[in-house]
Amino acid sequence: MTTWLSIPADSDFSVHNLPFGIFDPGDGLPRAGIAIGDHIVDLAAAAEAGLFGKRRFFKKLFEQPLLNDFIALGKPVTNRIRRKVQDWLCLAQRPDNATRLLADRRSARMHLPVRIGDYTDFYSSIEHATNVGKMFRPDNPLLPNWRWLPVGYHGRASSVVVSGTPVRRPHGQLLPKGQEIPVFGASKQLDFELEMAFVIGKENPLGEPIPVDRAEEYIFGLLLFNDWSARDIQRWEYVPLGPFLGKNFASSVSPWIVPLEALKAFRVKGPKQTPPPLDYLKGSGASNCDIQLEVAIRSGQGSETVVCRSNMRYLYWSMAQQLAHHTVNGCNVRVGDLMASGTISGPTPGSYGSMLELSWGGQEPIPLAGGTTRTFLEDGDSVIMRAWSEKDGQRVGFGEVFGTIF
């Protein structure tokens, strides 16, 4: 496919991508758009121009500040809208209405793209789970259930924020080393977690599980996700019920949802699962995505340092398996619900997806540009995550998700 619009060769937002988001071009009115190169197709303006038919219906729909109602129309409609925009961008020459339909992406303010009713975080990277286990249980890194089910916990939807939102250092109970009585204070071991997340696009009735071989019908698209973590708060509160204040203070998402269909060329098989999963988790085909992942840290106004390069293909438990397990007990999901993968670590130290692993619990400082080092994040540090797939001249990316600690 070729387009009349000039798009940088290294742009995440090629004509093969066309992700959906909510943007404000400067008039204070957030609405739906599709990213293309350094521009945004204003979907409300496109509807008014008659690009989709049902002019009034789609104009009103795309003037909403959230994508939930649009996504709820189902993939036949959302895919048709995306194809219509793709066809418009691939016309033989620049259309007369191009100026009215395009906004400057670089100056637009981005918003959370969906109303997140519920958020679940999984723990689906065997490399990450093994690394964390080695630090605390050297003789038994993986707990007995890990290879049998996608472990997860219910997170806090209200504190999921869009990329660019500053993150306040959390306070909570800490147990100083060698002591038995906790103290209250600011976390001294603030961390990032490199994750991907998917957005639910179709609902199942309460009591009806989603089969693993139909799970992708319920996945609208993917986001890049940073699950900020306060390791010292988490360590003290973790037993007996798991993550709480060490996790629920903030999670950051990229503003553009890449439709699952845009990643078709980048589907790959996941790792071999041993022992074989139970029948309800047995999927088939290319269940993972070859998505390159990168994390950089910038200290203050200094240069950024890439500290991690990983890939979503390393995930042991696939998105379909996560969703099938989530609903096997009859749990219902709703449009806009968010499911995050858990930290995606690779097999080598440079691919570890958290500071906890990169510094091995704070024992091995990470060098940054300018001669400084980090074991965990300090105030003024910015974390920048990027994700993209590239193959045969096609590039489909997620842009970036970043946040600054204060």
pLDDT value, residue 391: 95
Are 20-111 and 119-404 in the same CATH fold? Answer: no
What is the architecture, at CATH level 2, of domain 119-404?
Alpha-Beta Complex (3.90)
Q: Where are the domains of the chain?
A: 20-111, 119-404
CATH class of 20-111: mainly beta
CA quadruple 178, 182, 185, 187: dihedral positive or negative? positive
**CB crowding 140-167: b at 16 or more within 10 Å, else e:** ebeeeebbeebbbeebbbeebbbbeeeb
pLDDT value, residue 377: 98
pLDDT value, residue 381: 98
Q: Are strands 39-42 and 183-186 parallel, antiparallel or unpaired?
A: unpaired
pLDDT value, residue 298: 98
pLDDT value, residue 240: 92
SS (H, E, C) 376-406: CECCCEEEEEEEEEEECCEEEEEEEEEEEEC
Q: What is the separation, in whole angstroms, between the first and last Cα of the chain?
A: 44
Give per-residue pLDDT as tens, 93-138: 999 999 999 999 999 999 999 999 999 999 999 999 999 999 988 8
pLDDT value, residue 136: 85
pLDDT value, residue 140: 87
C-alpha 267/C-alpha 317 separation (Å) is 14
C-alpha 286/C-alpha 147 separation (Å) is 20
pTM for this prediction: 0.97
Q: Which residues are catalytic?
A: 128
Q: What's the angle, vertex CA 183, arms to CA 179 and CA 184, rounded to 5?
A: 160
pLDDT value, residue 328: 98
Give me the residues of the chain with pLDDT under 50, please: none
